[in-house]
Chains A and B, each alone.
Chain A
Amino acid sequence: MRLLAILFGAVLGVIVGIASTYVTLRDLAPVDTIQTGAWKGWPRAGTPDEDPYSRAMLARTGELALGSSEGLKLLARTDDAGGALSGRCRYTVTGQLPAARLWTLTVESDQGANLPPPSRGARAIGSDQIVRNADGSFTVALAPSPQPGNWLSTEGSASIRLAARLYDTTARTVTVLTDFSVPSINKEACP
């Protein structure tokens, strides 16, 4: 009876250990992030100081982090209200990104895969292609159907996330997010 209890405990412990690792690594690494609004970044990804969760997650997804002279990737999976981004809804992304020589804004699947090219429009836009507002900020619409102004197509995918890649940026060295400006993501309409 005692031996049985120990055996059962050992098996249970291993199962719980593996399951909890799987659950943690399935999602974006929750540790060592910089976060503001709906946006998250991992400035130490790919460096020797990287935390083991981020490293394990990058190993699992097959992603290679940007180098320190290259840039920083920020991800948003929710709107500012906290709801998961859906490809069926219409969002406006408006504001400014941290200072960078170049940035790109990309709609990808919620797991980070590139989506197939849409029938109209584009999935990604660069800072040199974007039409800016009078005050230097920008507004981008995310929607499955064409929108006036800057527009990224979310056609054909239910769960999406938004990736902002900042190239040649000082944002990597920012640890306190006080001067870290990110665009707001607001849901406009959902069918």
Chain B
Amino acid sequence: MSIADELRTSRPFLSWGTLGSLLAWALGVVLLAAAVHIVVVFMVPRMTTSDGWWRIANATGQDGFTLLAPDGKGPAIAGLDPLFVHGACRLSLTEAPASLSFSGPNSFWSLALYLKRGTVLFSVNDRTAIEGQLDMLVVNPIQNTILKESAAAELEETIVVEAPQPDLIALVRFYAPTPRERQIAAEHLEQAECAPAPIQPAG
């Protein structure tokens, strides 16, 4: 028997049947990989305890603003503008609403309220402030109802923000490019108030 005869009579290395199952196998692998990919992308923000929210939450108290040092000093919060002075405060609304009150320096400043996973609930900049002073009350839906009933007169110049979650952080950014301005901004931050504020019962 010649070599040509042998080639003609031998079965092909890959029959259509094995090729089909190989393709099905490859498709299965790709589909599984895609499913895992999607699940992991959605899981990362839910599982992490080292995202920006948690890093700030672990570094700050509930009483007053904590000065956030730039990278390398103190809690390392990534992505903060080095020309700004940042202060953060953790808000917990389970017991009482949280009251934020501060006066900013003369240059640009802004404040953002972050929900867990880093979604911005509310943000404001110095243009909204009345004579550089910002008063804000963060409430949960139940507290908001009580607040509306009590209708305290001193709330007229207060921004009331209703939060869907009890755990938030407030982050203020003061533009302070020079050492002198940094010092002024730090002083403003020191005097800034951030504390639980129980609603006074309607009298």
Contact = CB atoms under 8 A, between A and B. Distances in A.
Given A21-B41, A112-B79, A63 B52 contact: yes
A170 B115 CA distance: 24
A47 B122 CA distance: 10
Given A47-B120, A48-B119, A56 B44 contact: yes
A69 B125 contact: yes
A136 interface: no
A149 B39 CA distance: 50
A18 B35 CA distance: 10
A61 B76 CA distance: 11
A137 B77 CA distance: 32
B28 interface: yes
Given A25-B41, A113-B71, A10 B118 contact: no
A173 to B, nearest CB: 14
A138 to B, nearest CB: 16
Contact of B173 (A6, A61, A70, A113): A70
Interface stretch (B7-15, B106-114, B146-154): B106-114
B174 to A, nearest CB: 11
B29 interface: yes
A71 B81 CA distance: 12
Contact of B44 (A47, A60, A106, A165): A60
Interface stretch (A82-90, A124-132, A178-186): A124-132
Contacts of A167: 108, 110, 125, 175
B81 A104 contact: yes
B195 interface: no
Given A21-B40, A67-B123, A69-B110, A13 B28 contact: yes
B16 interface: no
Interface string B81-120: 1111000000000000000000000011010101001111
Given A106-B81, A112-B78, A56 B45 contact: yes
Q: What are the nearest 6 A-B pairs in CB distance?
A: A67-B123, A17-B36, A13-B32, A63-B79, A16-B33, A67-B112
17 contacts: A9-B29, A14-B36, A25-B44, A46-B118, A55-B118, A59-B44, A61-B79, A62-B50, A62-B79, A69-B110, A70-B125, A101-B108, A102-B107, A104-B83, A124-B82, A126-B175, A167-B175
